[in-house]
Structure 1
Amino acid sequence: MIQQRVLVSWVGANDLKAVSGGETGPILSTLKAVPVESVQLLCSYPEERVEPYLDWLREQVDVPITAHYATLSSPVHFGEIYQVASECLKHLSVSGTQLSILLSPGTPAMQAVWILLGKARYAATFYQSSLEQGVQQVEVPFEISAEYVPAANAISTDKLVQLAGLDTPVDAAFDSIVTRSERMLALKEQARILALKQVPVLVYGETGTGKELFARAIHNAGPRSKEPFIAVNCGALAPELIDSILFGHKKGAFTGAVADRAGVFQQAHGGTLFLDEFGELTPDVQVRLLRVLQEGTLTPVGACQELKVDVRLIAATHRNLMQAVAEGRFREDLFYRIAVGVLHLPPLREREGDLLLLCERLLAGITNQDPSLGNKKISEDAKKLILQHPWRGNVRELQSTLLRAALWCQGDLIVANDLEQALFKLPQTEADLMAMDVSQGIDIQELISLVASRYLRKALAITGHNKTRAASLLGLKSQQTLSNWMDRYGIE
């Protein structure tokens, strides 16, 4: 199959000047010299300056031109430039295009990031355009290691987080959660504030994103840190034992109750109760749980006397509880009782720049636990595979994959073949989603949410969070319709 050739470039000042009768500018000069099927332009200038240029450019050439607007705090902010450019190339690489990058327009920081991405992560051909030498293909005569991330050297090794430990550290603290992702940094600051307020907290996030790590860090940073932290997986509770586990029971309350047993609320008295997979609780249990939270009292199974309990509740779920409330599957009063402080943890694939930093830290932790594994390192080819993998299991999947690769690796270098054997390839395409075995049970709301969230985020990233343009790309009628979808699927 012939790949579509796409030219990608920032819009520069010399390009904008072309409208008023100056030189043609690097972009038009390149389009006249290099055959391509479409053009993707990144724009950091205001729309009112760029749109006249785009109208003019479309009159000069007969190829589709798409503009993506990006809001940058500075035209030389490496981190912001990296995220915008990387998201654009990621989208184009998925569609199987032949990438050509024009280096000339934009700031030196923009040019540097293009080279880093085009050499390390995406296969691209480089061009430059000048008045003196015209349009030329550029051969960059060196290789850039795949793990390069802007500002990575500024982060000390001892602060990198081992998020994916099979058991969350009892002494987990906010300093353990090190990230360069702006979303994660903001969440850490929000969680620090919530730790001191003692209000109930609801933590959203896919499986393996570190929900219990955040919960423990909140507990350890708050005034209840010396008291118990009790964690319960609500999804693993047998229906007939839920009341007993949550609220306790008296001896003889039912067959097998051979002694009094304190429930998790009593065990966490004075401290924190962490209810993981909170969205799995059935409506009847939700009613009883709400009463405990409202009144601060409970009655163990088989008992007559109420007991007072004082716990701070932190709940976690991978489900969209607002949607469940709207559909009548989760009690609205319980939701708002819990959702006082809300933290929405992003999946690993959306934490730009964190992936390989976590890899090195996690692998170091694995080899430190077992000296027989030696001092394992990851090859450049293996790192490229890591960058391309979707990591649906997030940090937990990453930890397990690295452990398998370290165990199977023959030497001290984990190569691409070792990683290939360690990876579990899960269904990734829409066709796979349409072919799931319904006889084994599926969660259709979760599948719809997965597809919608993925493409909403992609459209927003490609358009620089321009809602009108994102709505158009997604076939939605208006910006307001897009906003409604974003609210429905919890996208900020």
Structure 2
Amino acid sequence: MNKQRLLVSWIGGNDLNMPEGQMTGPIWATIQATKFDVIELIYNYSDDEIKPYVSLLSERVNCKVHARKANLSSPIDYEDIYIAAEQLLKDVVQSDSELSILLSPGTPAMQAIWVLLGKTRFPCTFYQASKEQGVQVINIPFTLSAKYVPAATKLNQSELNNLARLEAPIDTAFDDILTIESDFQVLKSQAQILAQQDVPVLIYGESGTGKEMFARAIHNASTRKDKPFIAVNCGAFPTELIDSILFGHKRGAFTGAISDKSGVFEQAHNGTLFLDEFGELDAVVQVRLLRVLQDGKFTRLGGSDEQSSNFRLITATNKNLINEVAQGRFREDLFYRVAIGVLQLPPLRMRQGDLDFLVDSLMQILAKEHSVLKGKNISYLAKKVIKEHKWPGNIRELKATLLRAALWSGSDCIDEAEIRQALFIMEGKKESLLDRDIHQGFDISHILAEVESYYIVKALEQHDGNKSKVAKLLGYNNHQTLSNRVKKLGI
């Protein structure tokens, strides 16, 4: 008797983001490459998004297609994912089943649970599908004993991530930094390496990209995690109080100094000092900082006794400090003292592969904080609006927009119109590509990439994803050249 060939998979954003009437994504690629008798899918999206996909898939294949919704509090909650995935496999795997599991769709947490279950209680063939390498059978080179599978409530997040990625686990201090993009995962790995090395760190990034979140994660993953984390906004220093803020003061040092007060360097002793908006420091303050950064010694304002502090310094800025040094606005010796470990956080508009995941994750997080979001989700068309927006305020703006849209939404599903209403369009701040401020500095390759991405996406949308036609219209040699640019630009 022939065994029933069964494919199990999460439905991911790359499966749903397909041109109208066309099938794309890892699930479709795998079905095209290998024949199955039954396809069992599990999802964490709204039914409105899933039903059209499942309906079209069922029409295109000669086998049974079933889909069930998973009740997850978050797409990265291991306990909920474990319970949902285990129950699915219990329900669908029969004695005559030849089980295959597709790892590609879903979050790293979902992939990790598949690996755990597939290597213990549900023997299977693992598949992986990507545009670059096609559909492949994946050999996971280790075995697990079922008796060592922990209870769902005991699952260790970093160890399960390790199962999915087969690489060094990220410290749990970085769990709140949400991403599924490989480039951003690399940033988290680099930050973890820096956390273990007691060196100064400089974090670049636009407002709202998560600079302070990275700084706190580095502190919490370091040997100083049980000591103070002192955060200071350098752009908010009143000129007359700079010395007091930085170094503290003695009683009577100036009018209003009614008692002794410690400065931020003293408060950060044995811990971490985070100086945000570091590029805003004027020349006078830069000079005052230099000595304490050199030897950790300072004197309180109005005092005579020299004190010392053993602190770890993390700085952050949205300015290109190299350009500031070149223009004479920032001290070169100070720059090289703080820029030992350097992290460059990309703006949200450059994280297109993360947007669906971030929206779903933020909705889950906000639902725990605000009852008005409980049970709400985002429609497919609303997510398209989100992807088209430039997000000048980055993650902070996205979070506020989702909350604002939920407050105004009258149903369980936030639609396209409600997202548009919740967006703030600041036309006055829009810069012409030909009118950028040279003094602020910018990477011209990013501007060229922005223009190229805009027209590629526009052309693909207008011509139903026909790459040959788009390549001809936009002057590329052939559709393969266009495909290479699409990959390079992260479209």
1:445 alignment partner, one of 416, 439, 448: 439
- State how far apart, in whole Å, the 2-side matches of 1:428 and 1:454 are: 19
The one-letter amino acid of 2:226's match is: K
1:136-215 correspondence to structure 2 within 5 Å? 151-156=105-110, 173-215=173-215
Shift of 1:457: 6.7
CA distance in 2, matches of 1:396, 1:402: 10
Match of 2:340 in 1: 340
SS at 1:259 equivalent: coil
Shift, 1:174, TM fit: 1.6
Q: Which amino acid aligns with 1:183?
A: D
Shift in Å, 1:452: 5.9
What are the superposed Cα offsets for residues 453-487 of structure 1, whole Å, 9 maximum, x if unpaired?
A: 33257669999xxxxxxxxx9xxxxxxxxxxxxxx
Aligned to 2:316: 316
Is 1:420 the counterpart of 2:402 in the alignment?
Answer: no
Q: How far off its partner does 1:426 sit?
A: 2.3
Q: 1:286 maps to which residue?
A: 286
CA distance, structure 1, for counterparts of residue 253 and residue 410 of structure 2: 57
How far residue 432 of structure 1 moved from its aligned partner, in angstroms, is 5.3
Does the residue aligned with 1:313 lie in a helix, a strand or coil?
strand
Which residue does 2:376 correspond to in 1? Answer: 376
SS in structure 2 opposite 1:366? helix
Match of 2:400 in 1: 400
Partner residue in 2 for 1:367: 367
Q: What is the TM-score when the length of structure 1 is the normalising length?
A: 0.58
1:248 to 1:153, Cα distance in 2 relative to 1, 3 A: closer
Question: Secondary structure at 1:449's aligned position in 2?
Answer: coil
Q: Is the CA contact 1:172–1:213 (under 8 Å) kept in the aligned structure 2?
A: no
Query: How far 1:202 moved relative to its partner?
Result: 0.4
Q: State the shift of 1:172 in Å.
A: 7.7
Tell me whether 343-352 or 329-338 shows the greater mean CA deviation: 343-352
CA deviation digits over 1:11-31, x for unaligned, max 9? Answer: xxxxxxxxxxxxxxxxxxxxx
% identity of equivalent residues: 51
- Code of the residue aligned with 2:354 in structure 1: it is D
Name the CA distance, whole Å, in 1 between partners of 2:435 and 2:447.
19
How far apart are residue 243 of structure 1 and its match?
1.4
Change in CA separation of 1:433 and 1:302 when aligned onto 2, cut-off 3 Å: farther
SS at match of 2:251: coil
Contact 2:203 2:315 in 1 (8 A): yes
Name the structure 1 match of 2:217: 217
Q: Give the direction of change, closer, same or farther, for the CA distance of 1:153–1:179 in structure 2 (3 Å limit).
A: closer
Contact 1:235 1:281 (C-alpha < 8 Å) held by counterparts: yes
Give the structure 2 partner of residue 269 of structure 1.
269
Alignment: residue pair count: 320
- State the Cα distance separating 1:427 from its structure 2 match: 3.2
Shift of residue 299, structure 1, vs aligned partner: 1.0
Task: State the SS of the aligned residue for 2:292.
Answer: helix
- Please tell me whether the aligned partners of residues 202 and 316 of structure 2 are also in contact (alpha carbons under 8 angstroms): yes
Pair 281,339 (structure 1): closer, same or farther in 2 beyond 3 Å: same
SS of equivalent to 1:152: coil
Contact 1:273-1:311 within 8 A present in 2 as well: yes
Aligned-partner Cα distance in 2 for 1:323–1:195: 27
Check the 8 A contact 1:172/1:216 in 2, yes or no: no
CA contact (8 A) 1:427 1:433 kept: no
Aligned pairs for 1:25-64 (under 5 A) are none
State the alpha-carbon separation in 1 of the partners of residues 450 and 212 from structure 2. 25
Q: Which residue of 2 aligns with 1:490?
A: none
**Kept after mapping to 1: 8 A contact 2:433/2:447:** no
Amino acid at match of 1:453: H
Distance 2:430 2:212 in 1: 31
- The C-alpha deviation readout for 1:401-440, integer Å capped at 9, x for no partner, is 011011111121111111111101123997657899xxxx
The one-letter code of the counterpart of 2:409 is C
Report deviation, 1:184: 1.1
SS at match of 1:257: coil
More displaced 10-residue stretch of structure 1: 308-317 or 234-243:
234-243
1:307-347 Cα shifts (integer Å, max 9, x gaps)? 11110000001110011111111001110001110011111
- Secondary structure at the aligned position of 1:258 is classed as coil
Separation in structure 2 between the aligned mates of residue 348 and residue 386 of structure 1, nearest angstrom = 11
1:454 aligns with 2:447: yes
Distance 2:369 2:275 in 1: 30
Offset of residue 351 of structure 1: 1.9
**Displacement after TM superposition at 1:252 (Å):** 1.2
- Give 5+ residue unaligned stretches, structure 2: 1-13, 34-57, 61-74, 76-102, 112-154, 159-170, 457-474, 476-491
Stretches of structure 1 lacking an aligned partner (at least 5 in a row) = 1-81, 90-98, 113-139, 161-170, 437-442, 464-472, 474-492
Tell me, yes or no, if the aligned pair for 1:181 and 1:352 is still in contact at 8 Å.
no
Q: Where does residue 233 of structure 2 map in the other structure?
A: 233
Separation in structure 2 between the aligned mates of residue 306 and residue 396 of structure 1, nearest angstrom: 41
Q: Label 1:215 to 1:295 Cα distance change in 2 as closer, same or farther (>3 A).
A: same
CA distance in 2, matches of 1:209, 1:362: 14
C-alpha separation between the residues in 1 aligned to 2:444 and 2:317?
19
Alpha-carbon separation, structure 2, partners of 1:430 and 1:409: 28
SS of 1:354's equivalent in the other structure is: helix
Q: Secondary structure at the match of 1:241?
A: helix
> 1:459–1:412: structure 2 CA closer, same or farther, 3 Å change rule?
closer
TM-fit CA distance, 1:236: 1.4
C-alpha distance in 2 between matches for 1:308 and 1:301 = 14
CA distance in 2, matches of 1:431, 1:216: 33
Q: 1:232 to 1:405 in 2, by over 3 A?
A: same
Counterpart of 2:363, as a letter, is L
SS at match of 2:231: strand
Normalising by structure 2, report the TM-score: 0.58
What is the rounded CA distance, in whole Å, between the counterparts of 2:183 and 2:319 in structure 1? 20
